[in-house]
Chains A and B, each alone.
Chain A
């Protein structure tokens, strides 16, 4: 039977459950299961709304063989707004049954035909199937840099799963932790990078807020034209992306004097047997915005706020070079990233030359899938 790709409607929920059951039965783990609800819980399609998600299914005679999600959002390109599609969560029965190897290609081509200005983000590294497919289709790619700051070195050395994957590495980390050499080395490295230079004459203040107010639009209007590509971050979109109910997002308004210069969205998560972070308490700078010249102050405010909490580690992904420098000035170190930013050929036309423009884009964990696994 031919494969038909169509929007996910309520009458296919049972078929998606069967699809997930087949995937679970064929694989020893169930990392990859499709949504058992036909509408996005966070970003459903609504009238007069530019930010929403649509779910699609690949059907073979009403049997689900795959699915994917398209997130729609307006992006600013040096101040010019354009609707852009984000392709994510493609899942095909081809991963467990080679008769459906074709489904992944069909879904991707269908999505791209409908939305030529498309990007993908995250994906776990260049060696994963989706980035390899995108590369084959001529998409432009780069990595979104990853930064981290160790707040409690002893706990970091003892608890960071990534550092303890073998007996040798566990021993090295333990020796470093118990002799005190590790904490000293971490503090020296972070202190070496840290710079205290202040750009603003006015005193800075970081105030925790429960939702984003009208001032957010002022920050958006003044700062968005400064970025080669940035997802819309108006008051309306921010309150949709980081709603008051649900996850415990920390929203910080940063002011210089009484003038708002930027904001941050933070998370503070007690990990539990996490495959990267073990049982550490990990904070993340999920999202942020200011004019590039104020990035250092905004990052410093967020870092100081988080360091007062009982956290072990702060992490962040930032594509823009000024935000990267801002993190390093606040004592963050850069580590290898597996967060791939891939843009379709049509979208890449707006970012030429891609290799040079990508460091002027503003992408972080607030984009794409959002702060999952953080």
Chain B
């Protein structure tokens, strides 16, 4: 995963979950971040979609269970646009 994409997602997540950016790792998930609930899950996805101008399909959301998953899905979408 490329650093800029991860870092941008990391900043979005940190801002949303109100935790230090450094505490957000690739394996960070709802289980490790107490404020990450279903509403914040949606807010995270919407914020990422807006930041990167992409739209995740419901089936793609299925693979998103951690910050690393979001970055992976995002990179696949961005690559398909090239």
| Contact surface of A with B, Cβ cutoff 8 Å | 2-3, 5, 92, 94-95, 98-99, 101-106, 108-110, 113, 129, 132-133, 136-137
Contact = CB atoms under 8 A, between A and B. Distances in A.
A105 B57 CA distance: 11
B42 A133 contact: yes
A104 B65 CA distance: 13
A136 B31 contact: no
Interface string B59-82: 101111100000000000000000
Interface of B: 29-31, 36-39, 41-43, 45-46, 57-59, 61-65
A103 to B, nearest CB: 8
A101 B34 CA distance: 12
B58 A129 contact: no
B41 to A, nearest CB: 5
A101 B64 CA distance: 10
B65 A102 contact: yes
Contacts of A110: 58
The 7 closest A-B pairs by CB, nearest first: A98-B30, A104-B38, A101-B30, A110-B58, A109-B58, A132-B39, A105-B42
Given A98-B31, A102-B41, A105-B42, 20 more contacts: A94-B30, A94-B41, A98-B36, A99-B29, A99-B31, A99-B65, A101-B36, A102-B61, A102-B62, A104-B38, A104-B42, A105-B61, A106-B61, A109-B61, A110-B58, A129-B37, A133-B38, A133-B39, A136-B43, A136-B46
A106 B61 CA distance: 7
A108 B39 CA distance: 11
B61 A136 contact: no
Contacts of A2: 59, 62-63
A105 B45 contact: yes
A113 B55 CA distance: 12
Q: Which residue, B29, B37, B38, B41, has most C-beta atoms of chain A within 10 A?
A: B38
B57 to A, nearest CB: 8
A255 B7 CA distance: 69
Contacts of B59: 2
A101 B38 contact: yes
13 contacts: A5-B58, A94-B41, A99-B65, A101-B36, A102-B65, A104-B38, A104-B41, A104-B42, A105-B61, A109-B61, A113-B57, A113-B58, A136-B46
Contacts of A105: 38, 41-42, 45, 61
A95 B37 CA distance: 8
Contacts of A94: 30, 37-38, 41
Contacts of A92: 38
B7 to A, nearest CB: 23
B9 to A, nearest CB: 16
Nearest to A90: B38
A350 to B, nearest CB: 23
A132 B63 CA distance: 23
Contacts of B42: 104-105, 108, 133, 136-137
A355 to B, nearest CB: 23
Contact of A137 (B30, B41, B46): B46
Contacts of B30: 94, 98-99, 101
Nearest to A92: B38
Nearest to B39: A132
A249 to B, nearest CB: 36
A5 to B, nearest CB: 7
